[in-house]
């Protein structure tokens, strides 16, 4: 597919200047990111009820796993999100609306060590999930762009993601944010599409 560098640039330039280093006193282990409409905040056990409702909705699990996630599974997911930050220094953020603090989903980076064929277990993977009422409003692009800007600034590259072939909105979003098709892998006996994003090149300095 033809690369659209302009779309990529628009995807990763929404993070507010200086926000990538702002850390709330209650969570010194992970940064808070801000965009025009969103707060990306460290995950917390208080997210459980909102996250459980999201992962039980067919509009969400229909493209990720194909079945509703139990409250127990979502609890374990939250613990994994929090522990990932402590162990590796990067991870998943909770997405909240700046206007009212409403829970909108999650976005982040993970070393998932998935048992794919072929394997990419040593590569960093991106993932994002939004509540159904936040779909189609550009929130995913805004959150993913902020996260990738932070990843670029912290030397986290390349970044991969896997997407179900039927999940066209996520495929389009990934490509707009600089991910490029990298083939197909088998995961849990099902084919999924693999995408890869390299760190954008630093533009050359202008000659005086």
pLDDT digits (tens, 9 = 90+) for 145-181: 999 999 999 999 999 999 999 999 999 999 999 999 9
Q: Are 197 and 177 in contact (CB under 8 A)?
A: yes
pLDDT at 102: 98
**At a CB cut-off of 8 Å and minimum separation 6, what does 57 contact?**
68, 131, 132
pLDDT at 200: 80
pLDDT tier for residue 5 given thresholds of 50, 70 and 90: very low
pLDDT at 204: 60
pLDDT at 118: 96
Instruction: Please determine, for residue 12, whether its predicted confidence score (pLDDT) is greater than 50.
Output: no
CA angle at 170 for the pair 145 and 19, rounded to the nearest 5°: 15
DSSP letters spanning 69-118: PPHHHHHHHHHHHHHHHHHHS--EEEEEETTT--EEEEEEEE------BS
pLDDT at 120: 94
CA angle at 44 for the pair 29 and 130, rounded to the nearest 5°: 110
Distance (Å, whole) CA 16 – CA 14: 6
**At a CB cut-off of 8 Å and minimum separation 6, what does 19 contact?**
31, 32, 33, 34
Q: What is the mean pLDDT of residues 104-110?
A: 98
Tell me the per-residue pLDDT of 61-106, one tens digit each, with 9 for 90 and over.
Answer: 887 878 899 999 999 999 999 999 999 999 999 999 999 999 999 9
pLDDT at 195: 98
| Nearest partner of 179 among 166, 153, 198, judged by Cα | 198
User: What number of other Cβ atoms are within 10 A of residue 55's Cβ?
Assistant: 21
| Cis peptide preceding 178, ω within 30 of 0 | no
pLDDT at 15: 47
Tell me the per-residue pLDDT of 43-63, one tens digit each, with 9 for 90 and over.
Answer: 999 999 999 999 999 999 887
pLDDT at 63: 77
Q: Are 120 and 160 in contact (CB under 8 A)?
A: yes
> Across the strands, what pairs with 159?
124, 197
Please say whether the structural domain 33-197 has been given the CATH code 3.40.630.30: yes
């Amino acid at each position: 597919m033809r690369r659209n560098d302009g779309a990529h640039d628009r995807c990763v330039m929404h993070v507010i200047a200086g926000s990538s280093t702002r850390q709330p006193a209650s969570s010194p282990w992970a940064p808070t990111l801000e965009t025009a409409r969103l707060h990306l905040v460290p995950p917390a056990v208080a997210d459980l009820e909102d996250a459980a409702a999201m992962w039980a909705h067919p509009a969400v699990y229909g493209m990720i796993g194909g079945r509703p996630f139990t409250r127990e599974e979502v609890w374990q997911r939250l613990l994994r999100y929090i522990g990932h930050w402590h162990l590796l220094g990067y991870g998943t953020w909770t997405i909240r609306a700046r206007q009212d603090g409403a829970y909108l989903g999650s976005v982040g980076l993970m070393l998932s060590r998935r048992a794919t064929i072929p394997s990419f277990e040593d590569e960093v993977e991106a993932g994002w999930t939004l509540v159904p009422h936040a779909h189609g409003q550009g929130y995913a692009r805004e959150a993913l762009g902020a996260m990738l800007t932070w990843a670029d600034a912290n030397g986290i590259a390349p970044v991969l993601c896997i997407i179900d072939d039927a999940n066209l909105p996520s495929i389009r979003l990934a490509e707009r944010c600089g991910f490029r098709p990298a083939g197909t892998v088998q995961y849990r006996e099902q084919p999924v599409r693999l995408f890869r994003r390299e760190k954008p090149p630093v533009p050359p300095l202008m000659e005086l």
